[in-house]
Amino acid sequence: QVQLVESGGGVVQPGRSLRLSCAASGFSFSTYGMHWVRQAPGKGLEWLAVISYDGNKKYYADSVKGRFTISRDNSENMLYLQMNSLRAEDTAVYYCAKHKTWLVTDHWGQGTQVTVSS
Amino acid sequence: DIQMTQSPSSLSASVGDRVTITCRASQDINTYLAWFQQKPGKAPKSLIYGASSLQSGVTSKFSGSGSGTDFTLTISSLQPEDFATYYCQQYSSYPLTFGGGTKVEIK
C-alpha cells in the first residue's frame, strides 16, 4: 500500500534553514508527481509546491517562491523540501502528497511539524 | 490567484442527516475541483476529484457535483465518523488554492 513518511521537522530559529524529506513506498515513485502542502496551527490547508515525476517541472506558491525548493531523488524514492530564510509564519505541519494524475492528490503523508521561533 | 469560498464555515448536524457543503471559485475552473476530509490531528484524506469522481476506496455516501464556479459536496447520511472538516481545492491553475474549510459538528 502507498506510504508517505515525512521527516526533518523541528524547532528552528528565524532566518535559518531546514530540509524536509518524504520517504515514499508502495508505488512506482518515479512515475508520479508530488506536492508539498502545509497547515499552520488552527488554520486551513495551504498548497506550497509541486514537482513532476521526472523533476523537470516545478511550481511554487508566492509565499515560498525564492525561499523554498522542491526536489526529488527517484533512485531513493525520496521527495524533499529545502526551506531557507525561515520566518515565524512558516510554522506549520508540512505534508507531502502523491498525485493520482497530474495535480490530483490521492495519498497524503502523516505530516511533520516545523516551528520557527527564537 | 483563484479564490475558493466555502459555505458554511461550520454546521451542526445529526447522525443520519443529509449534509451539503458549497464551494465557489472566483473564476471558471471547469471541473478541476477536489474535496478532502480532515479529522483533528490527522492528515487530510482525499475524497473526490474532477468535481464528481470518487477516489478509490471512498464510500459512495460522498458525492460531488458542479462545474465552472459552483460546486457541492453531499454526504447522504451522516455517520459519527464523518464529523470532520472538509476542504475544497482547485487545480485549474497555479497556485493551487484551498477553500477555508467547513467544520461538520455533531448537533
The whole-chain average pLDDT of chain B stands at 97
What is the average pLDDT value for chain A, to the nearest integer?
97
Cα end-to-end distance, chain B, whole Å: 36
Q: Which three cell numbers stand for residue B77?
A: 447520511
Instruction: Please give the average per-residue pLDDT across B55-66, as a whole number.
Output: 97
Question: Backbone phi, then psi, for B80, in 5-degree steps?
Answer: -55, -35
At residue A11, the 3 state secondary structure works out as: strand
Spatial distance between the Cα atoms of B44 and B98, rounded to a whole number of angstroms: 12
- The amino acid that residue B97 corresponds to is T
Q: Residue B106: its pLDDT value, please?
A: 87
Q: Does residue A35 have a pLDDT over 90?
A: yes
Considering all CA atoms of chain B, what is the largest pairwise distance in Å, rounded to the nearest integer? 38
Averaged pLDDT for residues A85-113: 97
Q: Do B98 and A44 touch (CB under 8 A)?
A: yes
pLDDT tens digits, residue range B79-89?
A: 999 999 999 99
A105 CB within 8 Å of a chain B CB: yes
Calpha distance A9→A24 (Å, rounded)? 17
Confidence of residue B107 (pLDDT cuts 50, 70, 90): confident
Burial pattern A76-86, b for ≥16 Cβ within 10 A else e, equals ebebbbebeeb
CA atoms of A6 and A9, how far apart (whole Å): 8
B91 to chain A, minimum CA–CA distance in Å?
6
Query: How many CB atoms are located within 10 Å of the residue A70 CB?
Result: 22
Q: What percent of chain B has pLDDT over 90?
A: 98
Task: Report pLDDT for B44.
Answer: 98
pLDDT score of B28 more than 90: yes
B102, containing H or E segment: strand B102-106
| Mean pLDDT, rounded, for B29-55 | 98
What is the band of B1 on the pLDDT scale with cuts at 50, 70, 90? very high
Residues A9 and A94: their CA atoms lie apart, in Å, by 8
Of B45, B56, B98, the CB nearest to A47: B98
Answer yes or no: are the C-beta atoms of A19 and A81 closer than 8 Å.
yes
List the single best residue of B96, B102, B103 to mutate versus A (max A Cβ within 10 A): B96
Residue A47 in contact with partner chain B when CB distance is under 8 A: yes
Q: Which amino acid is at A34?
A: M
Is the alpha carbon torsion for A109, A67, A51, B53 positive or negative?
positive
**pLDDT tens, A57-82?**
999 999 999 999 999 999 999 999 99
DSSP class of residue B27 equals S
